[in-house]
Structure 1
Amino acid sequence: MKHKAFFIFMTALLIGSPLYAQKYKIALIHSYQEGYSGAGIVNKLFVKGLKDQQIDFQLRTFYLDCEKYESVEEEQRISEFADSIRSWEGDLIAVLDDQATYSIMACGNPYVRQIPVVFSGVNYPNQDLLAQYPNITGYIDKPDYLTTCRMIERIMGKVRIHILNGRTVLDRLIWKDLSEQCKGSEITLHQWKRQEALPGKLNIPISDKDDTEYESLHEKLNEYNHLDSTIVVRLSSDSVAARDLMWLSSGIFKYSLFLYTKRDYTTLRIGSLFDNPGFETINEGFGIKEYMLGGYFAPIETQLSDMTAGIKERLQGKIPVPAVKQIAKQHLVNWQAMKRYQIPLKAFHRNIPSCTGRGGKNTQLPS
């Protein structure tokens, strides 16, 4: 009888321990370079999420440094990561963001098909590649451009929202998606052209003018600061002139601001050029860059909480249904940015009552 009681006790103890007390080897692959802005927070939240799920684990972290390499080199690099994980006898690969998620499927390493892979923070997953990998599951945050533009308008009034967009596959996906979402809405889209540097009705060149004429121009620009509609302006990252970019961001136009739709070398510092607060449709860098006021997207805390819950399922041999899930979005604002730009609380409570604050010691906007 004593032996039976002891057996029951030990069984209960094992079942109550983290995933039956097995230590799992988990590899985490970042899309960006080691030490990128936000990496420390992401790593900390990832570890916290695994612990919250009571997973006993060893962790190895890899950085793809996607901005440094062309696609062939990038895929070779992530294939080498996979070989290293195989030699380590890893149990699962966790992948963050679009570039690493695409590359791990495109690299062709056979080991990628043999191990559970969970991705997160992806805005536009490659559906054709995903269909070839039943072992890959994950979490997406598909941007909601229209809701974000309306959030901006409710806080800032009628504005001209600038996005930096080029000819890459991701850029084309972003512009196509944005165009489709805004079709038939009150938000209009414009393609930036050099002659738009000044409103056509002013017909005043911006070079070779003396101080008097610049003062006169400034007065006319102030008159033009009153918009009757919100416009999204596409600035080509392949051709926009530096002078135009400086001019648009200089604060001459109080309605001119920047919308951060992707994280790459073309956009990393652009938001800091604008005198007015910037907004985001993605969570990368949110709460870190003091000039980014907020947006409508899935917070990084939710992203990694969902991801680590999915990792637990995969380690238990389960396949989530559906295999790819949308992470819940929120209206978010950076508390420190709000104070920096002296935006009153009533702008949020009146117009966006569900808005949540981040930054400093405050996690909720004060009442």
Structure 2
Amino acid sequence: MLPIVQSVPGLVWAYRFHTEDGACQRFPPDIGRDDLLKAGGDFLWLHLNLADQRLATFLDTFPALPPAVVAALTTHETHASITLDDGMIYGTLVDFQREFDAGTRDIGWLHFAVCQGLIVTTRLQPLRSIDRVRASVEKNPARYRVPIDIFETIVAEFQRTMITLVLELTEELNQIEDSVYDNTSRDERRRLAPVRRTVVRLHRHLRTVLALMRRAGASDEDDMPPGFDDVAGRLTSRLEAVDHDVYALQERARLLHEEIDSKLSSETNRHLYILSLMTAFLLPPSLVTGFFGMNTSGLPLAGGGHGTFFAFGFIGLSILGAWWLLRRAGIL
């Protein structure tokens, strides 16, 4: 009877790093659980899919992962968090989902845990930044000496993704701005609304990650993993730089929205001005026709043969009188 090989549940990829020769080993997707745990090397990176319900049971087999860390790796909560405790760092980071052929602007969540000799990341949907980190590992594994280096690269790739989105949104705002300041009257609020919504959402999540990174960098040194102090400083500087760009983009979108509202208000006021002038010119003729339309006795010009022509004359005189009054008042 053939032995049953227990594979790693939800395994997306697994790397074993050998820092002495600057190499890494990628395990096959069907690697057995025991073979993975017994593999040599300096540290291990596991990237797992949260869709597998057996994931929590598998993570319990790692003695280095306390229950709180396992809970953080298997949670489905959608808010960013970073926790440092007894030389470990774990929590949830913001990322962007990706399709098979392209990235999207939909928010995704990456759960992570970094401890001695091990980094574990979990996600529910494919993410943009984590795939770039995997490509970086394949290209130059020698730059990753400790697990915290993987964590730094993940946050750095998130920052680079933010810069890419800022450039894309800037180009969209440029196109909307050209249309707004064109001579043709256009309502660009439908195009601007999704851009503003995306920018506000990016800024909100970026500010959250930046605040968490600052708080983590100010934690007690006994709770920090080795080398995290320098990593936190570098990542905070990176996030602050892109935060200024996102804030400037948000302000630009807000001012552009105000410009569109101002232009539409001016157009509406111009239409109201034209309608007011038409009302002013038509009101005196209406009074004339209303007067001669009364079915009362003794109405002037009712018995003559040229009453209609006189009535039209009064209408013309009333229009001229209205025009003279508007000119005298400075309205025309």
TM-score by length of 1: 0.23
The structure with the greater share of residues assigned to helix is 2
Q: Point out the structure with max Rg over C-alpha.
A: 2
Could you say which structure has the greater relative contact order, defined with CA pairs below 8 angstroms and 6 or more residues apart?
1
TM-score by length of 2: 0.25
